[in-house]
């Protein structure tokens, strides 16, 4: 695909971003004699530390692809490698953010954030301190002891974010995470995500419907075809970093956006 | 990074005060409604002017207080308190057994396909049956002692709690288990701390429904075949046209039923933060 794909398998080091490699991934759902081929021969290389956006028409298998990467669903064919190792199941090295934040309603914000470390028996005073810092970072310090139903939609997203970040995932898998948010909250979340990525350089696979969002966030945008999903094209976004929301008005941005839209509609 | 952060401490404080005001208001309105109902009763009692048909409130209260400690009927009778304790004991024993069994059965049905397929039709047939239909059968099997009463409650509570447990476990969204697993929890930890935990509020709601049914069953059973309990007392009082005592027995059931439902409601609030308002 491109030269930027990381072919070298490095020794995994905790906290370092991981490269992702998909080869001929296919997935067919069988239900009551009806077969739905969601994905067919999808190949994609994502470099360590890259921000890759995934766009495509509804039902083309974006969520399925992410779920395969997360280890919730098994691919029928092909290879799925994270840092050279095949994905066999879910794990904290791949942080997942869903379209709706799935905070546990019986836990407070802080307890939600500490869920991962606690479940892995890695809850140390240092981790608690880090949780407090993370809550501060996502602007929820004062809501640490509130329950999810007491938070606004955007706040829940940020809490879910903190819950994933405390695990120091090497890849972030995000499935239309800001799709349900209003324009202003959404812009705030995009800014937050950009700042975070600028600092941590985690590998990110970001699914979205929104071409503008993909252009603003991604290093590259992978466009999938309609069902069954195949990689139609991968568009490089050569806009300078760090990017802000103001960049959406520049000519370069609009041009990049149009290029993606053309591929989508082709 | 500073997104919108309202000064939450004051927000929470205001909300808490509002909630307290609301609960005081609710208490006040509830008490007023009860007082109004008693006033209607009192007026009706004077209008009817027949203590057997409808005694006055004060006469009822007088007899209630009297028979709390005095046995009825005088020979071989029990006090209201004793009868209340007898009924409560039966309820608690049958309810505890039925709840535990229902929890285990519901969880097993949710987890094991074969058990679900085997138990589904049986529970489905049992649930719409009124438990009191089984009273004669249970008397034949267990006699008129405690065993038949406890068995009756048990068979009433069991299907309700089973179905509530199964439904609550089925309703736990996959996203919860997925989130837990991808945060690094083992599948065992996820089962225990997410799937079962997420089902708890639904189970407690089922327990509340089962508790309501349990009081219906026990009073019916005590009226048909028993030598003690509030139902038995009400029947005796009815046989001797002791209307104030009938009302007293009903009042005792009301208080006990309200208390147990209140306890289960407290339990629900403890396990489900969204129920705290
Ligand atoms: N568990 C499942 N069982 C059967 N079919 C499924 C399942 N999950 C997904 N599919 C099918 O696979 C196809 C791809 O679904 P997927 O959710 O991956 O699409 P998507 O690209 O995420 O769509 P959207 O943009 O609307 O979220 C769809 O046709 C869907 O019906
Ligand atoms: Mg989707």
* Contact status, residue A205 vs residue A54, Cβ threshold 8 Å: yes
- A171: closest CA among A2, A24, A51, A35? A51
Confidence bin at B2 (pLDDT 50/70/90) = very low
Task: Give the residue from A67, A100, A148, A150 with the most B CB atoms within 10 Å of its CB, the best one to mutate.
Answer: A150
Burial class for B74, CB neighbours closer than 10 Å (0-12, 13-18, 19+): exposed
Q: Hunting for tokens 């409560």 — which residue is that?
A: B88
Task: Tell me the residue range of the domain where B13 lies.
Answer: 1-49
Predicted confidence pLDDT, tens digits, chain A (266 residues): 444 444 444 334 446 788 899 999 999 999 888 888 888 889 999 999 999 999 998 888 999 999 999 999 999 999 999 988 999 999 999 999 988 889 999 999 999 999 999 999 989 999 999 999 999 988 899 999 999 999 988 899 999 999 999 999 999 999 998 888 888 888 888 998 999 898 888 999 999 989 999 999 999 999 998 888 888 888 898 888 888 888 888 898 999 999 999 988 88
Confidence bin at B9 (pLDDT 50/70/90) = low
| pLDDT at residue number B277 | 67
pLDDT, tens digit (0-9, with 9 covering 90-100), for B170-219:
999 999 999 999 999 999 999 999 999 999 999 999 999 999 999 999 99
Which tokens sit at A170? 């090497």
Asked if residue B74 and residue B138 are part of one domain, the reply reads yes
| Residues of chain B neighbouring A143 (CB-CB closer than 8 A) | 5, 8
**Out of B5, B9, B272, whose CB is closest to A106?**
B272
Least reliable range by pLDDT among A156-160, B7-11, B76-80, B162-166: B7-11
pLDDT, tens digit (0-9, with 9 covering 90-100), for B25-59:
889 999 999 999 999 999 999 999 888 899 999 99
Report CB contact under 8 Å: B4, A154: yes
* Contact status, residue A205 vs residue A174, Cβ threshold 8 Å: yes
Task: State pTM to two decimals.
Answer: 0.82
| pLDDT at residue number A6 | 40
* Contact status, residue A199 vs residue A30, Cβ threshold 8 Å: no
CA dist., res. B165 & res. B159, Å (int): 10
pLDDT, tens digit (0-9, with 9 covering 90-100), for B100-138:
999 999 999 998 999 999 999 998 898 888 988 999 999
Asked if residue B32 and residue B127 are part of one domain, the reply reads no
Give all strands (DSSP E) within B23-120, no chain letters. Answer: none
Report CB contact under 8 Å: A115, B183: yes
Confidence bin at B154 (pLDDT 50/70/90) = very high
How far apart are the CA of B194 and the nearest CA of chain A, in angstroms? 8
Radius of gyration of chain A (CA): 18
| pLDDT at residue number A249 | 87
The finding on whether A58 has its CB within 6 A of some atom of ligand 1 is yes
Q: Please, which residues bridge with residue A34 across strands?
A: A31
Asked if residue B258 and residue B132 are part of one domain, the reply reads yes
Q: A168: nearest CA in chain B? A: B183
Size of interface A-B (CB pairs under 8 A): 98
Asked if residue B151 and residue B26 are part of one domain, the reply reads no
Of B26, B49, B72, which closes a domain? B49
CATH number, position B211 = 1.10.3720.10
CA dist., res. A91 & res. B156, Å (int): 44
Domains and CATH numbers, chain A: 14-93+171-265 (3.40.50.300), 104-168 (no CATH)
Asked if residue B175 and residue B45 are part of one domain, the reply reads no
Asked if residue B218 and residue B136 are part of one domain, the reply reads yes
- Would you tell me how many other CB atoms lie within 10 Å of the CB of residue A156? 20
Asked if residue B120 and residue B7 are part of one domain, the reply reads no
Radius of gyration of chain B (CA): 24
Compute the distance from residue A175 Cα to the ligand 1 centre, in Å.
12
Q: How many domains does chain B have?
A: 2
């Amino acid at each position: 695909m491109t030269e930027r794909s990381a072919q070298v398998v490095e020794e995994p080091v905790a906290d370092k971003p991981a490269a992702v490699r998909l080869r001929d991934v296919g997935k067919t759902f069988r239900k009551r004699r009806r077969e739905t081929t969601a994905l067919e021969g999808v190949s994609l290389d994502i470099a360590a530390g890259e921000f890759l956006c995934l766009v495509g028409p509804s039902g083309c298998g974006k969520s399925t692809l992410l779920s395969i990467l997360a280890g919730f669903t098994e691919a029928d064919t092909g290879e799925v490698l994270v840092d050279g190792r095949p994905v066999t199941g879910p794990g904290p090295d791949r942080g997942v953010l869903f379209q709706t934040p799935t905070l546990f309603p019986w836990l407070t914000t802080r307890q939600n954030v500490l869920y991962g470390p606690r479940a892995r028996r890695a809850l140390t005073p240092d981790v608690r301190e880090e949780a407090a810092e993370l809550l501060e970072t996502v602007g929820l310090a004062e809501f640490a002891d509130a329950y999810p139903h007491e938070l606004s939609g955007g706040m829940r997203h940020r809490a879910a974010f903190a819950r994933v970040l405390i695990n120091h995932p090497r890849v972030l898998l995000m499935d239309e995470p800001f799709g349900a948010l209003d324009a202003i909250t959404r812009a705030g979340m995009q800014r937050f995500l950009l700042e975070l990525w600028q600092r941590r350089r985690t590998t990110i696979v970001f699914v979205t419907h929104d071409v503008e969002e993909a252009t603003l966030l991604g290093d590259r945008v992978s466009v999938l075809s309609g069902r069954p999903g195949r990689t139609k094209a991968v568009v490089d976004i050569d806009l300078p970093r760090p990017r802000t929301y103001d960049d959406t008005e520049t000519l370069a941005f609009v041009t990049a956006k149009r290029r993606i839209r053309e591929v989508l509609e082709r | 990074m500073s997104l919108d952060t309202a000064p939450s401490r004051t927000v929470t404080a205001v909300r808490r005060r509002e909630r307290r005001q609301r609960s005081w208001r609710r208490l006040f309105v509830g008490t007023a409604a009860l007082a109004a109902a008693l006033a209607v009763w009192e007026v009706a009692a004077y209008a009817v002017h027949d203590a057997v048909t409808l005694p006055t409130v004060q006469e009822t209260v007088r007899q209630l207080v009297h028979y709390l400690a005095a046995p009825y009927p005088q020979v071989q009778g029990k006090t209201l308190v004793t009868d209340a304790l007898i009924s409560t004991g039966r309820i608690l024993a049958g309810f505890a057994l039925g709840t535990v069994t229902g929890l285990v059965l519901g969880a097993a049905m949710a987890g094991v396909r074969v058990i679900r397929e085997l138990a589904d039709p049986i529970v489905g047939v049992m649930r719409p049956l009124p438990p009191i239909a089984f009273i004669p059968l249970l008397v034949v099997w267990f006699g008129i002692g405690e065993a038949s009463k406890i068995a009756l409650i048990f068979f009433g509570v069991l299907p309700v709690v089973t179905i509530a447990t199964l439904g609550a476990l089925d309703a736990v969204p996959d996203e919860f288990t997925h989130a837990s697993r991808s945060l690094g929890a083992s599948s065992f930890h996820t089962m225990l701390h997410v799937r079962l935990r997420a089902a708890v509020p639904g189970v407690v709601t089922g327990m509340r429904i089962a508790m309501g049914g349990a009081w219906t069953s026990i009073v019916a059973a005590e009226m048909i075949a028993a030598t003690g309990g509030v139902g038995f007392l009400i029947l005796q009082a009815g046989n001797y046209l002791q209307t104030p005592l009938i009302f007293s027995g009903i009042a005792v059931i009301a208080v006990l039923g309200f208390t147990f439902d209140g306890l289960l409601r407290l339990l629900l609030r403890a396990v489900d933060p969204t129920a705290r308002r």
